[in-house]
Amino acid sequence: MAEPILEVRDLVKHYPLTQGILFRKQIGAVRAVDGVDFALGRGETLGIVGESGCGKSTVAKMLVNLERPTGGSIRYKGEDITRLSGRALKAVRRNIQMVFQDPYTSLNPRMTVGDIIGEPYDIHPEVAPKGDRRRKVQELLDVVGLNPEYVNRYPHQFSGGQRQRIGIARGLALRPEVIVADEPVSALDVSVQAQVVNLMDRLQSEFGLAYVFIAHDLSIVRHISDRVAVMYLGRIVETGTDTEIYEHPTHPYTQALLSAVPVPDPEAREHRERIILTGDVPSPTNIPSGCRFRTRCWKARGTDAETGRWRSTATGRWTDAETGRWRSTATGRGDMAAPRPVYGTRTAVR
C-alpha cells in the first residue's frame, strides 16, 4: 500500500442510553462503532461494506469530525486529529470532505446550486477569493459533468443523479485529499449508479483523491475499490484486496454477503451456493459474547444444553447428529422438538 494518509486505530463510538427526564440516568450504551482499525493510502479507495446499522455512517462522521470518538485515534499524515481544535482542526477538515448518502435531503432546497457548491469557501476564503468564486463554481459544475450555466438553478430542478453530482462538486470545492462517500449511490436508480461511480473513478485520478467508499452491498464497491473492509456490528470482520474478498472470502459473513451478489453468467449462477442468513442483526446495545456473528453464523456449531448434539446448517436447519431428526428455525417444521441452542463452543472465530 502507498504511504497511508489516514490511519484509524481502535476507533470507538458509544452513544449513552439514558432513562428519565429530570435525572437522566445512563442505563447502557449503543455500541455503534466498537473497535475499528484500517489504513487508507494516498490515492487509494477503501470500500466499507456492511448491513444497515453496522456503524458505517458513524465511522464516516468521525473521519470528517462530525462526531467525536469515544475512544481510539484517527491519524491524518501521522497526526491524531481527534484531539485537534481551532485553527489546526480547520486546516485538517479542509482536506477530508464528505459526500452524503441522500442527495434529495442533503442539499438545501432554498439555496442555488452555485451557493451550495461555493458555501465551503465562506469557511475557507483563502481557497477562492470572493470575486473568483462564481468562476470556480462553474469550473466544478463542468468537472462533474453538469452545464456551468445551471449555477443559478435550485436543487429541485435536477434529477437524483445530477444532485449527487452537485454533492460531489461541493465535496471537491476545497480540493481535499480524502473524500468520505457515505453510500453515495444507494439512493439512486440502478441505471444511474454506475454513471456516478464512473464519475468518482475519473475524479479520483484527475485530482489524486483517496476515497473511503461506503456501501451496503458488495457489488457496488467492487469496481472502484482497491481494498474492501467488511463491517458487522461495529467491527471490521474481514479486510482484503479485490481478489481476496471476491474470489477467496474467508469470513462466513463475507461469504454470505457475497452469495447475495447477482451473478450475470447463468452457468456460474447454477454452480453457486446461496447462503441465506437467518435471524436479525443483534442490537448494538446488546452485542453477543464471543464472536459477535455467532448468532447468525451458518458455520457456528450449536450444542443443545442437554444432549450436546444439535448443529446448525446453512439453511437454518438444526439436525441431531445422531438420529438425523431435524427442525427448521425458519419455518418451524421438522420432526423433533425445538432445540435450545447454546452457542459458543466452536464458532468461526476470527
Ligand X SMILES: Nc1ncnc2c1ncn2[C@@H]1O[C@H](COP(=O)(O)OP(=O)(O)O)[C@@H](O)[C@H]1O
The whole-angstrom separation of Cα 185 and Cα 213 is 10
Q: Is 249:66 a contact under the CB 8 Å cutoff?
A: no
Segment (H or E) for 142: helix 133-143
Residue 31 C-beta: closest distance to ligand X, Å: 8
- Between CA 75 and CA 350 the distance in angstroms is 26
- Least distance (Å) between residue 191 CB and ligand X: 24
Window of 47-55, 188-196, 245-253, 269-277 that interacts with ligand X by CB under 6 A: 47-55
Residue with Cβ nearer ligand X (54 or 174):
54
Q: Please pick, from the candidates 18, 19, 52, 345, the single residue that binds ligand X as defined by CB under 6 A.
A: 52
Asked if 54 is part of the footprint of ligand X (rule: CB under 6 A), the reply reads yes
Residue 194 has which C-alpha cell?
454506475
Binding of ligand X by 56 (CB under 6 A): yes
Residue of 114, 118, 120, 284 interacting with ligand X (CB under 6 A)? 284
Least Cβ distance, residue 51 to ligand X (angstroms): 7
Helix (H) and strand (E) counts for the chain?
A: 11, 15
d(CA 197, CA 47): 12
With CB atoms as reference, the residue minimizing the distance to Mg ion is 57
Beta pairing class for 96-99 and 79-80: unpaired
* Measured distance CA(100)–CA(95) in Å, rounded: 16
Binding site for Mg ion (CB under 5 A): 57
By C-beta, is 58 or 295 nearer to Mg ion? 58
Does 58 bind ligand X (CB under 6 A)? Our answer is yes
Binding site for ligand X (CB under 6 A): 15, 30, 32, 50, 52-58, 284
